[in-house]
C-alpha cells in the first residue's frame, strides 16, 4: 500500500487479507503496520482472516523444511501449545485500538470451522473462566504467585496468563471487540466465575488442586489431528517435481 499514490490509497474501501500459511517475525503483530493507512483513510475497512492450523501452529517455524523431524509423527495437538498460539493473537489484536487503530477500520476473524480449532477455542474460553475463578481464590485466600517455570509451557499456571486475557475473551464472546470467531457449531456462553469458585468441588480446592486442574484440563489435554503429518509437505522448500527440473537442467549443461 505504501507504493500507491495517496490519491489511490484514498480510494480504497474494503480489503480482505486471507492468509493460508504461517508468516514469520511475529505474524500476530503485522496489523500494526496497517494503522497509518487506516488513519489516513477513515473509510478503509480491512479484514484479516486467520486460522489455528493455517497461521498459528506450529508455534515455531524452526525445522519446517527438515526432511525428517519427530514432530511429523505426532497425532495430536496439545492444549498448552494451542493456548499459547491463541493468546498471542488475541492479546495483540486487543492492543490495536490503544496503538492508534481507528474504531471500525480493522477486524480480525479467527476461523474455527475445523474440529481442531473448535476444540482449541473451547479450551481458550475454559482457560479464561479458570483464570477469573482462580483470581477470586487468590484474593480471598491472600495467595500469591509461585516461582514461574517455563521449561515446557509459557502459561504453566493461570498466574502466567496476561492480566486482561479473560476480559478480552469475554469481549470477543459479547461482540465488543474487533476480534470475531467464525465457524463455531454452537453459540458461546459466558461463564460466572463466582459460581465456578463457590459451587461444586472447587469451593474445597487448595492451591495445588487449582494447579492440578489447570494442568489436566488446559495444558496436558489433547485433540487428534493429521496436521503434523501434512506439515512438512505444506512448508517444504523442495516442492514436488523440483528435483526433476534441476536434474534436467544439469543434463542440458553437460
Q: What is the pLDDT of residue 66?
A: 52
> Which residue stretches of the chain have pLDDT < 70?
61-72, 146-153, 236-254
Q: Which three cell numbers stand for residue 201?
A: 468441588
C-alpha cell at 149: 517455570
157 touches 145 (CB < 8 A): yes
> What's the pLDDT score for residue 244?
45
pLDDT of residue 148: 54
Q: Using CA atoms, how far apart are residues 39 and 221, in angstroms rounded to an integer?
A: 43
pLDDT at position 71: 58
Q: 3-class SS at 91? A: helix
What pLDDT score was predicted for residue 136? 94
Phi-psi region of 229 (alpha: psi -120 to 50; beta: other; left: phi over 0): alpha
User: Helices 115-141 and 165-174 sit at what angle, rounded to 10 degrees?
Assistant: 130
Residues 125 and 196: their CA atoms lie apart, in Å, by 13
Tally of CB atoms within 10 A around 44: 22
* Nearest to 86, CA basis, from 61, 57, 64, 129: 57
**DSSP secondary-structure letter at 2?**
T
The pairing of strands 179-182 and 106-111 is parallel
Q: What ranges make up the beta strands (E) of 69-156?
A: 76-78, 106-111
Q: How far is CA 92 from the centre of its chain?
A: 10
Helix/strand/coil (H/E/C) assignment for every residue in 114-130: CHHHHHHHHHHHHHHHH
Name the residue ranges covered by the structural domains of the chain: 6-128+163-189+225-245
pLDDT at 238: 58
Q: Which three cell numbers stand for residue 192?
A: 460466572
Q: What is the DSSP letter of 167?
A: H
What values do phi and psi take at 182, rounded to 5?
-115, 150
Say which DSSP state 53 is in: I
Amino acid at each position: 500500500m505504501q507504493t500507491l499514490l495517496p490519491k489511490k490509497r484514498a480510494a480504497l474501501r474494503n480489503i480482505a487479507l486471507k492468509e493460508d500459511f504461517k508468516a514469520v517475525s511475529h505474524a500476530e503483530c503485522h496489523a500494526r503496520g496497517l494503522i497509518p493507512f487506516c488513519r489516513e483513510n477513515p473509510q478503509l475497512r480491512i479484514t484479516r482472516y486467520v486460522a489455528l492450523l493455517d497461521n498459528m501452529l506450529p508455534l515455531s517455524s524452526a525445522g519446517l523444511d527438515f526432511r525428517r523431524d519427530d514432530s511429523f509423527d505426532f497425532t495430536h495437538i496439545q492444549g498448552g501449545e494451542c493456548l499459547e498460539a491463541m493468546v498471542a493473537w488475541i492479546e495483540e489484536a486487543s492492543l490495536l485500538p490503544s496503538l492508534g487503530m481507528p474504531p471500525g477500520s480493522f477486524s480480525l476473524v479467527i476461523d474455527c470451522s475445523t474440529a481442531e480449532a473448535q476444540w482449541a477455542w473451547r479450551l481458550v474460553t475454559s482457560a479464561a473462566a479458570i483464570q477469573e475463578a482462580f483470581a477470586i481464590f487468590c484474593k480471598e485466600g491472600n495467595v500469591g504467585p509461585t516461582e514461574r517455570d517455563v521449561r515446557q509451557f509459557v502459561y504453566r499456571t493461570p498466574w502466567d496468563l496476561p492480566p486482561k486475557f479473560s476480559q478480552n475473551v469475554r469481549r470477543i464472546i459479547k461482540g465488543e471487540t474487533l476480534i470475531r470467531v467464525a465457524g463455531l457449531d454452537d453459540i458461546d456462553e459466558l461463564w460466572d466465575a463466582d459460581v465456578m469458585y463457590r459451587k461444586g468441588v472447587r469451593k474445597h480446592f487448595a492451591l495445588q488442586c487449582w494447579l492440578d486442574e489447570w494442568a489436566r484440563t488446559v495444558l496436558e489435554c489433547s485433540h487428534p489431528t493429521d496436521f503434523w503429518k501434512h506439515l512438512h509437505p505444506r512448508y517444504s522448500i523442495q516442492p514436488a517435481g523440483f528435483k526433476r527440473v534441476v536434474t534436467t537442467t544439469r543434463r542440458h549443461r553437460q
